[in-house]
Structure formats: structure tokens, C-alpha cells
Amino acid sequence: MKHPETPWWKQAVIYQIYPRSFCDSNGDGIGDLPGILSKLDYLQTLGIDAIWLSPVFRSPQDDNGYDISDYQDIDPIFGTLEDMDALIREAGKRGIRIIMDLVLNHSSDEHRWFKEARKSRDNPYHDFYIWRDGDGVTPPNDLKAGFGGSAWEWVPELGQYYFHQFSVKQPDLNWDNPALRAELYRMINWWTDRGVGGFRLDVVDHLGKDPDHGLMKCAPTLHPYIREMSRAAFQRPGLVTVGEAWSADVEEAKRYSNPDGSELSMVFQFEHMKIDQIPGKEKWERAPIDFVTLKKIFSRWQKELYGQGWNSLFWENHDLPRSVSRFADDGTYRVESAKMLAILLHGMQGTPYVYQGEELGMTNYDFRVGECRDIEILNMARERRAQGYSEEWIRDAIRRKGRDNARTPMQWDASPNAGFTTGEPWLVVNPNYREINAEDQVGRDDSVFACYQTLIRLRKELPVLTDGTYEPLLEEDARIFAYRRDDGKNRLLVVCNFFGESVENPLCGEEKGGRLLVSSYTEAGTDPDLLRPYEAKMLLFG
Ligand code: GLC
Ligand code: CA
């Protein structure tokens, strides 16, 4: 068999932009495409290869753009199609590809298709959505929507319910209808022809479903649909595709990211993100982080996917709290621990993702409920209040898990509103922007930004990062995360103290003869047998 060349995205680092919170060019308080354009040099300095752009399509913004009313237009709050073309072009000049966010599980209820669909049962678009007859009193079954309430919404004019897994304004598309699928594939190709470099597929595991049998996702139709879509739209030179799949285990991941290219390039799975969640309960319920289990999760994915699929590496995205607040220390050791998380992750096999502000060590913000804007938080607060939960409990849940933590505006500099906008920002700016901002960090050797720069550069320089095997070390150790990579030519050793106290380093003998590539501390320690709080190092041998 002929060995295909390594695709670009196996050696790439992808940067996620949440456009609303990145950079506002016109003072309306909402980030936009011209704002992103003005920051391309910053991204080039960081060294990333591609931008995953959260949705900028036309949308009523019920779920900040994850409710699309026109897949082939840009929402006026973000700019125009011409702005999008300019972004693709200007990013391209800097070697940066644009990955768009395809929300194909549902559209907005304000999409033309849905407006048609609800006109009558025999409208040609009616079957683009999922309808069940009923009486307006008892929904077809007990399925619950992701953002609260029943998954079925009554439409009296039709005497039918429609199915929605997320908000009422996000009706599920009926993937069992071939005409709908053909429309979506046509739309995807239209974007690729415009110069887009790839796609992130929102909740891809939900595309195949069987609500009558209680299946919101992963129905037997799922993989056939993905393979059909791949043949129709994804198998084009250089195109990268990444599927968001909360439900994926290793076996499922091998299907999504089958190296034969029949489905997607890679999977974006969340097993390590469920570590502080109680299985079967909502994410708001607190569970302590079991460090040894966390290590085992990473090791299992590294080993079992090797040669059989491709994973994404991430700590953050727009749905998750800030990693330095969640897994490390956003106080005294913020800088060291943010670097530790970066080194730990970027030494592994897969495609690393950096979520805007992560490269600065941005932190969670202590929201008052009234300051939150996220539909998920607001619905949770309403439901929990009705169930008698205290305000303190609700606020604590938001502080730990709320999606708005990741969505506070990007901290560019120490000027008012962190240089994000000259107007009133749509969501509060974290007041720590005076200390934590890009202007302070770019060009400074000891910054979190510089650490990310180094890691991104190494990914391109060292094939062992892309191809090497993974061997976990000190698996049962309660404080240290360590592993070895090996590609036959080079060996890499990564050693991280995951906690805030110094700890004896059982691997200091192993480190002899290695070249230190990157560390979470700028100065060498006085005691070589000790790892300082959150000390992390990556060493190269051979
Ligand atoms: C995905 C998105 C999230 C969105 C949801 C519904 O999980 O990442 O932001 O709310 O899908 O589209
Ligand atoms: Ca704006």
C-alpha cells in the first residue's frame, strides 16, 4: 500500500476564535470579522496554522450563533460576506487557514426552511424538520432539551410537535430526509469553493437519531450519514474536518477519524472533560478531580488511537471554563500552572487546539447571575431556583462550570475594556485584564504566550511530537504527570508536577543527557531532585 504524505493538520496547531468576544472594530460592543482581521499579525506571531471560527452565519443569536437562519450569509453584527472573503484571503497570506463551524443538527426557527415547514403539513420543507402528531397536552415522549424543558414544542396551527435537542429556537433538522442532506452538502461545497480550509462539525454525534426510541444521538444511521457527507463534501485536497462528539469513546473515535478518510479528519472528544462531573448527572453537580484517573484517560486515548485514528488535544473551548481555574491555580502560580497545562498537553499526539486567551492564561470570572448572558446558564438558574437551590449554590455552579467564563472579552491590553471595544462590551470584561493581557506578554520570554509560541514551533520542528509512540510513566503517582514519546530517532520526556507543592522527582535520573526544550519556569531550580510547584519540563534525547 502506498503511504500517503502526512496531512498538514497532523502537524498543525489550531486556534479557536469566539468572534463575539475577540475584537470589536466598530464600538458596538460585539467582536466582528474586521476585528479578527486586525489581529492576524498577532496570530501569526503566535505561530498557529488555522483558525476555527465559531459561527458567524446569519443568526438571531439565541445561542450566540449556534442557531443559524442562513448558512450562506454572514450575520450583520459580524460583518459581510466581503469581510469573510477578506479574512480568508488575508489569513491565507499568513499561512493560516479558516475552519468554519457547521451547525447541522439544527437550524434557527427563523431559518427560511423552518418558516416554510410550519406553514402546513404538505409544505415541501415540512419534512426538513422532525414532527409528531399530538394533543398539545402530552408530548410524544419524555425526552428533555439540552437547555431545559421538553424536547418537543407544540405548534397549534399544525396540531404537531417539533423536536429540538437544544433551545426551542433550535429545531432539529431531519437528517432522514435526503433532500435536506443534499441541500447541506451543496452549502458546504459552496463554502469550500470560497476558500474555506475546513469545517468543525457541531454535535456531530447527534446527526443520526431516533427520537421515537429515545435516541438523541448515535443511531445506526449516524455513520452512514457521515460517510455520505464525507464523499459529497469533505474529500477535497487539504480539507480538514473535526467532529465534536461528547459521546465518543475510543472505539467510536476510530470510526469518526478512520485513517482511510471515509469520515472525518479527527474527533473532538471530551472524556477528560468529564473528570469533574458525576456520571449521569448534569455538569453543574460537583465531583472532585481524580488525578490518577485523569492520567489514565489521557494514556488510554494516546495508546489506543495510535495508528487507528486522530484526536484533538484541548483543555478549553467556548463551552468550558478556563483551564487554569479548573485544573490548576489562577492565583499565585497562575503563570507557572498555565504553562504546565500547556506543556503537558502539547507533548502528546494529536492536533492541539488553543482557545482564545488560553495562550495568555486567562481565568474564570466571578459572575453575578445578572451579569451572565449564556442561555444555558440562565435556564439552569431559573430551573434550580424553582427547585429551591440557594443563590449561593447557583453562583458557585456558574463560577465553576458556566460557559460565560470562556466568553468574557479577549484581553488585549490595559486600556479600558481591555482594548476589546471602545463601546459597551456585550459581556463583562474580567477586571484582571490590567495584569493579564496580550500587550504585556507578547515579546516577553517569561510569558505564558512565549511558552505557547515555543510549543507551537516545536510541533513543526520535531516529528516525534506527531508520530512518536506514547508511554505513560509513574502511572499511579498522585502528584506527577509524566510520559515518554519515541519515534525511533528521538525520544521526548515530559515531566509535570500537577500541584502547588514541591515534590521529589523520581525521574531526575532519566533526565540526564536530555536537552531542555521548554519549561514552566524561566530559571533553573536549586535542587535538581525536586519539582517546584507546577513545574513542567519537556526534554529531548537523541
Ligand atoms: C455545541 C456547541 C455549543 C452549542 C451546542 C448547540 O455543543 O459547542 O456552543 O450551544 O452545540 O449547537
Ligand atoms: Ca462590532
Q: Tell whether 370 is covered by a domain.
A: yes
Q: How confident is the model at residue 2 (pLDDT cuts 50, 70, 90)?
A: very low
The parent domain of residue 125 ranges over: 112-163
Rounded distance, CA 470 to CA 328, Å? 24
Please tell me whether residue 194 adopts helix, strand or coil conformation: coil
What is the per-residue pLDDT for 4? 56
Nearest residue to 117 via CA among 107, 150, 185 = 107
Which residues are catalytic, by number? 202, 244
Say yes or no: 368 and 479 in one domain: no
Q: What is the pLDDT averaged over residues 286-306?
A: 97
Instruction: Report whether 64 contacts 87 (CB < 8 A).
Output: no
Say yes or no: 43 and 131 in one domain: no
Q: What is the pLDDT averaged over residues 2-22?
A: 89
What is the per-residue pLDDT for 3? 46
Residue 66 alpha carbon to ligand 1 centre in Å: 6
Say yes or no: 47 and 136 in one domain: no
Cell matching residue 279: 456520571
Count how many domains the chain has.
3
What DSSP designation does 64 have? T
Say yes or no: 96 and 119 in one domain: no
Q: Tell whether 172 is covered by a domain.
A: no
- Which ligand 1 atom sits closest to the C-alpha of 165? 6
For residue 25, the ligand closest to its alpha carbon is 2
Residue 203 alpha carbon to ligand 1 centre in Å: 7
Residue nearest to atom 12 of ligand 1 (CA): 66
Rounded distance, CA 134 to CA 203, Å? 28
Dihedral sign from CA coordinates of 56, 59, 63, 66: negative
* DSSP per position, 423-485: S--SSPPPGGGGTS-HHHHTT-TTSHHHHHHHHHHHHHH-HHHHH-EEEEESTT-SSEEEEEE
Rounded distance, CA 423 to CA 442, Å? 25
Ligand 1 contacts CB of residue 63 (under 6 A) = yes
What is the per-residue pLDDT for 528? 84
pLDDT per residue over 330-389, tens digit each? 999 999 999 999 999 999 999 999 999 999 999 999 999 999 999 999 999 999 999 999
Ligand 1 contacts CB of residue 66 (under 6 A) = yes
pLDDT per residue over 399-456, tens digit each? 999 999 999 999 999 999 999 999 999 999 999 999 999 999 999 999 999 999 999 9
Task: Supply the CATH number for residue 25's domain.
Answer: 3.20.20.80
Cell matching residue 7: 496531512
- Which ligand 1 atom sits closest to the C-alpha of 106? 12
pLDDT over 70 at 76, yes or no: yes
Say yes or no: 432 and 285 in one domain: yes
Cell matching residue 439: 500587550
- Which ligand 1 atom sits closest to the C-alpha of 375? 10
Q: Tell whether 217 is covered by a domain.
A: yes
